A and B are shown apart, each in its own frame.
Chain A
């Protein structure tokens, strides 16, 4: 059965800390892995990783895909209170879209 598992379920850190969020997956015909940030309402797109693009970076956020371990990490450095959100990992095996249940990140001032 295809599935996406994220860890930890929740995380509380202080401003300035660095955090690492994990996503592991078991799907057939892997096509891409995507990271989203969900604050109060709609998830917003962060990164897409594929077999041909296994590392992405934007400002303080970066993500790596480990095709061998079937996993991905999302790193956030120098965290700010505005980073508080639920971070969702999604995997696209071609004709389905599987989301993990997310990691809830709280950044304390």
Chain B
């Protein structure tokens, strides 16, 4: 058990909809990272927050947004969903910015 909690585990929705994925980092960790893992593209970095502030940004679509709250949990919002957004979304956390990350079990998003 990594100590990182992601909810929900599975999410099935339709194109055009909006969903919110939730992540609670490991106790004491200040950084939260979001990744998208699909079969053809591997693990893609989306965005990082450190102690409530956006720290780094990867290939995150404009339809996606994230935030980290004062209690350090984070949410990833995906809107105007398309079939290609179907993937496994991982959250990870680390004590500081960068370095070894501890991953949650992911949220599997299926778009029908």
Contacts and interface: CB of A to CB of B under 8 A. Distances in A.
Interface residues of A, number: 22
A102 B103 contact: no
Contacts, number: 51
Grouping DSSP codes into helix (H, G, I), strand (E, B) and loop, the A interface class, with mixed when no group exceeds half, is strand
B45 A44 contact: no
A95 B43 contact: no
A102 B43 CA distance: 9
Interface residues of B, number: 23
Contacts of B43: 43, 88, 90, 99
B28 interface: no
A45 B102 contact: yes
Contacts of B2: 42, 44
Contacts of A71: none
